[in-house]
Amino acid sequence: ARFDLVLSMIQDEEALVGAMEYNTDLFEQDTIQRMVEHFLTLLGEAAARPDISIDQLRLITDAELAQLQTWNDTRENVLLDEPVFRRVERHARERPDAVAVRFVGDEGVELTYAELNARANQLAHHLLALGVQPDTPVGIFMERSPDMVAALLGVMKAGAAYLPIDPSYPPERIRYMIEDAGISILLAYENIRGEDLWPEITEYAVRNAQIVLLDDPAIASRPTADPDLPVSSQHLAYVIYTSGSTGRPKGVMLQHRGLTNLVHAQTQGFGVDGHSRVLQFASFSFDASVSEIFMALYPGATLVLSPRDALLSPTKLLDLLRNQRITTVTLPPSLLAVLDPVALPDLQTIISAGEACTWEIIERWAQGRRFVNAYGPTEATVGPTFGFVDPAQQRTPSVPIGRPIHNIQVYILDEALEPAPVGVPGEICIGGVGVARGYLDRPGLTAEKFIPDPFSPEPGARLYHTGDLGRFLGDGRIEFMGRIDQQVKVRGYRIELGEIEAVLERHPAVRAAVVVVPEEARASRLVAYLIPLNEEAPSADDLKPFLHSQLPDYMLPSLFITVDAFPLTPSGKVDRRALARMEVAAPEFGPEYVPPRTELEKLLAQVWREVLRTEQIGIHDSFFELGGDSILSIQVISKALAVGIRLEPMHIFQHPTIAELAEISQASRIHAEQGLVEGAAPLTPWQQQLIERASQPSLRSRALLLELAQAPSLAALERAVQEIVRHHDALRLHFEKETEGWVQYNGGDGRMAVFSSIDLSDLPSAEQAQAMTEHITALRAELDLTAGPLFRVVYFHLGPDRSPHLLFLAHDLVVDSQSWPILLQDFLAVMAMLERGGPVQLPPKTTAFIHWAQRLQEYAQSEAVQDDLPYWLDTLSAQFVPPPVDPDADGETDVAAIMRELSEDETAALLDEAMLAYHTEPRDLLLTALHQAVVRHGDDLALLVDIESDVRMQSIAEDVDASRTAGRFTATYPVALSLPADEHPGEAIKSIKEQLRSIPHGGLSYGLLRYLHEDEAIRTHLRSLPRPPFSFRLTQSPAEWIAGLPAIRIAPESTGAERNPGDGPSSAVELEAVVQDGRMRLRWQCDPRRYSSSTLAALADEFMAALRALIEHCLSPDAGGFTQSDVADFGWDESDLQDFEDILSRLDDM
C-alpha cells in the first residue's frame, strides 16, 4: 500500500461502492473487517438520524452488542452468603492439624487451622465484649505475622471490617487514616509502645478509641468456639485506603460477597487446593495482600509469610520459593524481570499484577507453569479480570488482562457511556458483585465514581468508573492501554498525582505544583514542577520532610524543579504531556555533583543509571531521592551481582549513596570471571577420594536421558551445547597425574566437540531402547580423564513416529546433582533464545569451580579448619558398631542391592508434617531409624557412618559465590551417632538432630584436613583411622526438578551402569535415599564378602519398621519439642529452653 490506510469510494448508478487498502504490517484482516463494519454502521446511523450531533452516532454493530453481552454473561452459582472465614472454621473442624500459616524467619512459627481459628475466635469474642458493631472499621497496626492473619479473621468474625495500617507509614498519614475512618478500636502488639508514634496514638485513643494489645492475657481467656453471629454478604469485610486526588487518601469499603466471589474464582482458576503453598508477598496495607491471604485460606492451603528483608533480596526470595516449595505466588513484573527463572519444580502458578507485564517476562517465566496476568482496582475487589498467557499466543501491543471473572461484568464505554466496538478504546467500567460499597464518608465522590449500572437488571446494581483506558480484542480478552485521568501506577503503586500536588501546595512557599511521570522514566519515578510563592524557591531540604510527614515513601517525588510558569495547552489547561517530555537529568536541589572516581564507583553508577534511567548520577546523590524504592533496590542488587558486587537490601537502605555503597562493597566483590576461565587447581577432597577408591576412575559418570516434546534443529542444538560449555567452565575440565598427585585443568577452548547425533530410525522400535543403552555404555567408557571431554550431549533420532531423545552425560568429577538443574535450565533458555532469533545472553557467572577449588586449598590452612581437628579425631576414635560380618556371605555376587520404598502418603508425611514436631529435616529421621536398625538394644556403641552432602553454599571466603556454578561441590565426612538404650522416640530424634547440627563447618573441614592440609602428619593420621562401615546419601531425583521444566521429561530407557561394577559400594553397607515420583526410595548395597542378600534385606526391613514408627510418632498429638539448636541465636542454655517449654505446656493446658 502507498499509505498505511486508504479508503476509496466510487458511486455507480445504484450505490456507493468502497474499498479499503491497508498495510499488512500494521493491521490484521479482522481489524480492517471490523473497521469497515463500524464505518457502515456510522453511515447508516447518520442517514437514519440526520438531526443529531456526530458524537451521538453509534459505531457498534448489533452483532457486536450481542457478542459483548455474551462475554459478560459470567453468571455462576457461588455461595456468596458464606463469608470466607466460614471456610476457615470448616477446615478447623475437618482438617484441624493442617498448617494454615507458616512464618519463615529466625523465630519460625506455624499455626494449624485449629490454632488459627481458635485465636481468631478469642479475639472476636473480645471485640464483641467491647461492643464492636457490624461494618465498624477496626484498625490493625502491625507487621506481617501469623497473629496479623488471626487478627483480620477475628475482626471479620465479630462482624466488623478490618483496616490495615502499615507501621512504616508517615505519622501524619497514620494519624489521618485513624481519624478519617473514625476507628474506635486499634489492634496492635505490646511492642508498639516503642514506636515514635505511640504518644500521638495514645492521645487520640484517650479521646476516641481503645487500643487493644493482642498479647493481652484477657484475650487468651476468651472462648475458642466460633462466635454465633450472623455476618451477611452485604457486610463490610475490610477497608483499604488508596491515594486520593484531593490530597487526602480515601477509604474504599469492600463487602464480603465480593471477597468470596474473588477467592472462589481464583482458587478454581489458579488450581489452589489444600496441598498448595501460597506466598504472602504484598504489603498488608495493599489489597493484593487480601487476594494472597484468602486465596490460601479459602481452599485450606498453607499461607507462607516471611520477614520483609527476605522478600527484597533476589537470592533470598528465590531460596524462599524453593525451600518452602511455594506453588502459587503473586509478584509485580518489575520484580519478575530481575529474578532468575531458576528451576522451581513446585512453583505451578505465577500471577503478575500491579503494573503492566511484558511478553519478555512471560517468555522467561511461563514455560511449564500457569502464568496469569491480572488486573483490577481496589474498588472492584482486587482482581476482577485475569487471563492465562503463554509465549505462543498471538501477541498484542500489551499483554491482555484477560476476561472478567464470574459474576463480574466489564464494559468498555465511550464518553456518552455507550459500549465501544471491539478494538476501539474506551474507559474500562466494572459491574457485578465485586464493586465496592463506595468511599468511606465520601458520598459525593462515591456518587461520581459509582453510577447506576445501565446494563444490569439487578436493582441497585452499580458500575465503577476505573479511569483506565482499554479495548476488547476479537476473542473477548481485554487490553489495558493506560490511564485517562491523573492517576498513575509507579513501580506497581497506584497514585493520584493530585494528592501529591495538593500536599505540595499546602507548603507555605509553594504557589502551584504539578507532578508528572517523565516519559523517559517509564513509570519508575515522579518529578514535581513548582511555581514558588515568592522569589526565593523552597529547597529540597524544606520540601522533603514536609512531604514525608504526610505521604508514604512511594509517593515522594525524586526531583523538584522550579519554573516560572507551566506550559499550557491551546485550551488553557496545564500541558502535562509537555512536562512529562521535558528532559530532567539530576535534582535541581541536592548535593553538589561529584562524578564516580574509582572503578567500583563507576560500576555502581552504571547500575543506578540502568535502574533509575537517569544519566547524571553523583556519588553523593541519594538512591531514594533519585526515585529509588524497595522494588528498584531489588533490581540494583540483581544488576550489581551481574558485575560481581554482592549487596543486600539493608545495604542500600543504610548506605543510600554510591560513595557509601562503594566503601561497604569493597569486601563484597565476588570473584567471578565472565569470560572463558583457564588454569589449574588442586583436586577437592571429594575428587581425591573418588580417584583414591575407584579401581577405574574413568568409569564414574551420571547420565540424563530426556524425551523431547518435538524435534529441534540440530544446528540450534549444537550451538546451544557450545554456549553451555563456554558458560560453565567445569564442563571443560580434564585431569592430569603429576609428581605431586592429580591436578585439574580448565581448558580455554569453548568449542570442544561434545555434541553428536545418532540415527536409530532404521531400527524397529523394540530394538531402539537396547541400542541406546549400548551407545550410552560405550560413551561412558570413552570419557577420558586426561584427554577429555568429560561432558557429552547426544541426540538420538528415533524416526517420525517417536519422540527424539537427548542424552546429557557427565563424569562424576565435574558435575554434582545440584548442577544438573542449572545446566538444563540454561540449555533450555539458550534454545528458546535461538528459536526467537535473538542474542544469547545467560545470567552472569558466579565463582568458577577451579577458583572455588583454589580457595578451598587456602581455606584448608586456616585456623578455623585446624580447630576442628579434635572433633574429627574424637569421632573416629568412638566405640562404634563393627563392620558387619555375615557367615552366609559367599562373596560371589558382585554387589548385593535391595530396594525399599515409602508410600506417597508416608513420603509426604516424612517431608512435611513429620518435620514440624521437632523442627527437623528428613535426614534426621532417616539417620535415627538407621541407628535403631543397626545398633542392638542395650549396646552402648555408636553408629559410625559416612555422610555425603552438598557444600557449595558453605562460606569459605568473602568473594566466593558458587550459587550458579556447575561443578562437584560435595563433601563426605564421618559421624559417630550415639543413643542411650531404649530411648523414647522423641528423645532419640532430638538427640540425633543435635548431634548432626553440631558437626563443624557442615562436615567440610574433615576432607580439608585429610586431603589438603599442609601438615602431612595430620593427613597421614586421619587416613590411618578406620573408615566407617556405613555410608548414607540423601539425593533428589532428576524427575523431581525436570517436572518443572518445559517440553522435556525423563525417558524410560536404561542408561546403563554409573560406575564399574567391580568397585562395589563405598562402605560395607551403603544407603541411598531419593524421592522419585512422590515416593521415598531407599537403595541398599553391601559388600558381598560381608553381607548376604538375605541379611541385607532383614536390615532394610528393620530400618523401614523403625522409620515408619518414627513418622507415626511425629504425627501423634503428644509429639513435639524444641532443641538447643532451635534457640541458638537467643543465647539460651538448657535451663532456659526447659523454662520455655514449660510455658508452652501450660499454655496448651489453658
Assess if residue 1036 is contained within a domain: yes
3-class state of residue 329 by DSSP = strand
User: 197 — alpha (psi -120 to 50), left (phi > 0) or beta?
Assistant: alpha
Written as nine digits, the cell of 672 is: 567471578
3-class state of residue 1034 by DSSP = strand
Looking at 823, 853, 883, which one is the last position of a domain? 853
Cell numbers 579448619 correspond to what residue? 865
Cα 443-446-448 angle, rounded to 5 deg? 110
Q: What is the CATH number of the domain that holds 632?
A: 1.10.1200.10
Are 902 and 1009 found together in one domain?
A: yes
Assess if residue 84 is contained within a domain: no
Res. 644: pLDDT tops 80: no
Q: What is the CATH number of the domain that holds 715?
A: 3.30.559.10
Q: What is the CATH number of the domain that holds 1035?
A: 3.30.559.30
Better pLDDT: 1091 or 143: 143
Are 525 and 615 found together in one domain?
A: no
Assess if residue 538 is contained within a domain: yes
pTM assigned to the model: 0.65
Are 711 and 657 found together in one domain?
A: no
Are 689 and 809 found together in one domain?
A: yes
CB 707 within 8 A of CB 767: no
Q: What is the DSSP string of 129-177?
A: HTT--TT-EEEEE--SSHHHHHHHHHHHHTT-EEEEE-TTS-HHHHHHH
Looking at 818, 853, 888, which one is the last position of a domain? 853
Per-residue pLDDT, averaged over 1044-1051, amounts to 77
Task: Please tell me the least confidently modeled range out of 269-278, 669-678, 1070-1079.
Answer: 669-678
**Predicted pLDDT at 770:** 93
**Predicted pLDDT at 589:** 47
Confidence of residue 200 (pLDDT cuts 50, 70, 90): low
CB 1032 within 8 A of CB 947: yes
Q: How far is CA 485 from CA 84, 355, 444, 466, 503, in A?
A: 34, 17, 18, 9, 19
**Predicted pLDDT at 930:** 93
Res. 762: pLDDT tops 60: yes
Task: Report the Cα 147 to chain-centroid distance in Å.
Answer: 23
Give the other-Cβ count within 10 Å of 149's Cβ: 26
Domain tally, the chain: 6
Written as nine digits, the cell of 358 is: 511484558
Are 1116 and 1131 found together in one domain?
A: no
Assess if residue 96 is contained within a domain: no
Query: If you compute the radius of gyration of the chain from its CA atoms, what whole number of angstroms results?
Result: 33
Are 719 and 818 found together in one domain?
A: yes
Q: Whole domain around residue 817: which residue ranges?
A: 679-853
H or E element in which residue 664 lies:
helix 658-665
H or E element in which residue 680 lies:
strand 679-682
Are 714 and 630 found together in one domain?
A: no
Per-residue pLDDT, averaged over 178-188, amounts to 90
Assess if residue 800 is contained within a domain: yes
Are 873 and 980 found together in one domain?
A: yes
Residue 1031 dihedral angles phi and psi, to the nearest 5°: -135, 150
Assess if residue 743 is contained within a domain: yes
Residue 37 dihedral angles phi and psi, to the nearest 5°: -65, -40
Q: Residue 773: beta bridge partners? A: none
Confidence of residue 1143 (pLDDT cuts 50, 70, 90): low
Confidence of residue 1149 (pLDDT cuts 50, 70, 90): low
Are 12 and 55 found together in one domain?
A: yes
Per-residue pLDDT, averaged over 339-344, amounts to 73
Are 979 and 1090 found together in one domain?
A: yes
Confidence of residue 882 (pLDDT cuts 50, 70, 90): confident
User: How does pLDDT run across 606-623, given as a tens digit for each residue?
Assistant: 888 888 877 788 888 888
CB 325 within 8 A of CB 124: no
Task: Please tell me the least confidently modeled range out of 33-47, 557-571, 886-900.
Answer: 886-900
Distance CA 191, CA 473 (A): 52
Considering the chain, what percentage of its residues have pLDDT values greater than 70? 90
Per-residue pLDDT, averaged over 1077-1087, amounts to 88
**Predicted pLDDT at 400:** 94
Assess if residue 1008 is contained within a domain: yes
Assess if residue 522 is contained within a domain: yes
Confidence of residue 55 (pLDDT cuts 50, 70, 90): confident
User: How does pLDDT run across 700-714, given as a tens digit for each residue?
Assistant: 889 999 999 889 899
Written as nine digits, the cell of 840 is: 544469547
Are 1137 and 1097 found together in one domain?
A: no
Looking at 18, 40, 59, which one is the last position of a domain? 59
Written as nine digits, the cell of 830 is: 539458550
Are 944 and 895 found together in one domain?
A: yes
User: How does pLDDT run across 347-387, given as a tens digit for each residue?
Assistant: 999 999 887 788 878 888 888 789 999 999 999 999 999 99
